[in-house]
Chains A and B, each alone.
Chain A
Amino acid sequence: MADPIVDPDPAPVPDPPPVRRTRVARLVAWIVVLVAVIVVAVVVVIDVGPPSEADLRQRAIGGRAELLIGVKDDTPGVSLRDRSTGEYAGFDIDIAYLVAGDLGFRPDQVRFLSIETEDRARMQARAGDGRFVTVDLVVASFSITKERAEQPGVRFAGPYLSTQQSVVTLKAHKPVSSLEDLRGERVCTLATSTSSEVARSAGVTLSGKNEISACVTGLKAGEFDAVTTDAAILAGFVAEDGGQTLTHHDVGLTGDERWGVNCGDNEALRTLVNLYLYRSAHDPTDRRWEQAYDRYLRSEQKFSPNQQVAIDHQPEVPKVDVRQWPWER
């Protein structure tokens, strides 16, 4: 720094040029520092930054004693309700318990309610007394699509499973290698499902039902020639049948059906579900997803030799930005 002499009164005697330049440089440095301090102070006071998990939980489920989850009740392997005990079991149920457990709900604090296909976007499930109830989460083999995600009141977390559309027929049916092979035949699917659009474009005579079990019952009764929907759903029926009367066909569709959790309007809850699915996918010690897959879906594979039931690892979930303690990272 070329300013060794301090002038007690600089006004009357002009500074020599190097001293003046140094002083101007110092002025610039002071202005930079002061502006930076003001900007930083504003940012720190406003407290920008991601929310913490506790903040999100407070916003998403603050004060809730029970978590209501809408699930299917007629799909073996995915989500089936035992008519005698009222208990639900299946892959979706285990995923629902995984999310609920991470949200801090014990299994007895989780209430499952049966939800129909067309009510999944509206989050309306039927309670035991027949009333419609708005649920907190829908875990009901609900495929993520752009159109659905754009609907008001639909926020997908996940995906938690990746499967494909396939076809089931009776054993006596000729082999099916594409949906076009079923042209002119009576095919049943879920009314408001992603499968119906693909099937319709293939030129089949389509019947839409609200429950996939009604399609399979109709298929066995000869009412339909085939049933088409997601392989993970159909594999359950084929496995339940023990491969005796039903056959599962790979129809060569390339599009993935990725199942998501509908969190309705609750953005904080969606963030949390994504966080827990992300952790489950990236924590090698967390085997809950793998155990659910092995128990319900891998065990069905032997009855569907031609069609993969679902991809056997957890699909990639977007990383969620939350505040974390250093030792949690």
Chain B
Amino acid sequence: MAVGEVGDRQWLLPLLPTFPIVLLVLRLWYLSRQNVQTMLLFVQYVSPLGLLSTLVIALLWVFPALLLLTRVLGALLELSDPAAAATSRLAAAARRIPDWVVVVALVIGALTWQLRFLPLLVMVALSILGLVVRQRAGAAAGPSVAATGVVLPFAAAVLLYAFLGPAIVTALREGEPVTFVLLALPPLVTPLLTGPVPAWAARPVTHWPAVVAAFAAPFLVGVVFLRAPILPTVAVDTDDGLLVGSVITVDDRMTTLLDAGGTVRFVLNEQIQAKVLCDTSERPPASRVDAHGWSVEQTALTWIAPTRRPTPVDPRCEGRR
């Protein structure tokens, strides 16, 4: 890519923050059930900072995924077909990612990815390490290439299988093919992912996944964000009956709620006898597999951090007193 070409595209940079803004507006529009008046009410009361933090928390795991994918595919192309890499935007993007950013992405991934995806993370990490070491060593391949390309992946596979072995067996027994593949496949193939592929295949095998990821990522991000709750759900016990909905705002006279049907309700504060917070977001894991008590659908962060067991649902959250 010529310098002039990059300079011409500078105007694209200010457009970069529009994606999260569009997402946030879309989220409010979705929450308002496409009602403009309701959406305007949200815009007035819902804190942009709160929304943004929801966005960041819901999508924190996407950042390492996209970054590591770019880095590993770029390195693979660079090593397998240097001629093609010279003109490839993927390789150029990968080259620009500093090593410390990769390390930060790995740490974030290790904390925010569910256990079932961690073997995949280890696989990508070792693959990047192997490819980059081999690429930087150039023709002078020595013990470092053998160590990162062969010894390390095998050692990691042994450790991972030792830790995940019982979980892999449980996944087979419980009939969960996705969990089985996620736990068993990455350690097995990692030793093969640390070196170049045939030059003729390098471009398609790196570019096609990158294109698919580039198209799929916005949808994935959108789906994840639209599912993330942004307002707390409460059951309000009033003189006129029970009301279950999301709290938009509370001022000194009124509580403003969005009920399950998408209607905005204003309730006088003095009419409210009780409020209960409803745990609607906590859902048991779909998978029955765990490794040494660590459920495969739990992230390291939630496993380490103190949690509270979900209490039985308050009947008021189901519309009964």
Cα–Cα distance between A1 and B283 once the two chains are bound (Å): 45
For the residues of B in contact with A, the DSSP-based class is helix
Q: Count residues of B near A (Cβ-Cβ below 8 Å).
A: 61
| Contacting pair A1 B319 (CB below 8 A) | no
Interchain CB contact (< 8 A) of B135 among A6, A22, A26: A6
Q: How far is the CB of B180 from chain A (nearest CB, A)?
A: 11
Are A40's CB and B146's CB within 8 A?
no
Size band of the A side of the interface? 35 or more
Structural contact, B284 and A4, CB atoms closer than 8 A: no
A105 touches B319 (CB 8 A): no
CB distance from A275 to the nearest CB of B (A): 13
Q: Are B193 and A30 in contact (CB under 8 A)?
A: yes
List chain A positions with a Cβ less than 8 A from chain B. Answer: 1, 3-6, 8-11, 20, 22-27, 29-34, 36-38, 40-41, 43-45, 47-50, 52, 54-55, 57-58, 61-65, 104-106, 109, 323-329
What does the 1/0 interface line of B47-85 toward A look like (CB < 8 Å)? 000000000000000000000000000001001111100
A325 touches B310 (CB 8 A): yes
A65 to B241, CA, bound (A): 11
With a cutoff of 8 Å between Cβ atoms, the chain A residues found around residue B141 in the complex are 4-6
In the complex, how many angstroms separate the beta carbon of A165 from the nearest chain B beta carbon? Answer: 40
Assess whether A4 is in contact with B192, with CB atoms less than 8 Å apart.
no
Bound form: Cα–Cα A22–B201 in Å: 13
* A282 shortest CB reach to chain B, Å: 16
Question: With an 8 A cutoff between CB atoms, is B98 at the interface?
Answer: no
* B225-281 with Cβ < 8 A to chain A: 242, 244, 260, 280
* B320 near A65: Cβ-Cβ < 8 Å: yes
Partner of A4, one of B146, B197, B198: B146
Which residues on the A side are within 8 Å of B318 (C-beta)? 57-58, 61-64, 104
Determine the residue in chain B with the shortest Cβ distance to A42.
Answer: B216
Within 8 Å by CB of A326, from B149, B199, B290, B310, lies B290
CB–CB B139/A323 < 8 A: no
Query: Given the complex, which residues of A lie within 8 Å of B80, measured CB to CB?
Result: 10, 23
- Min CB–CB distance B29 → chain A (angstroms): 21
Is B9 on the interface with A (CB-CB < 8 A)?
Answer: no
In contact, A50 and B195 (Cβ under 8 angstroms): no
Report Cα–Cα, A37/B216, bound state, in Å. 12
B93 contacts chain A at the CB level, 8 A cutoff: no
Cα-based distance from A20 to B200 in the complex (angstroms): 12
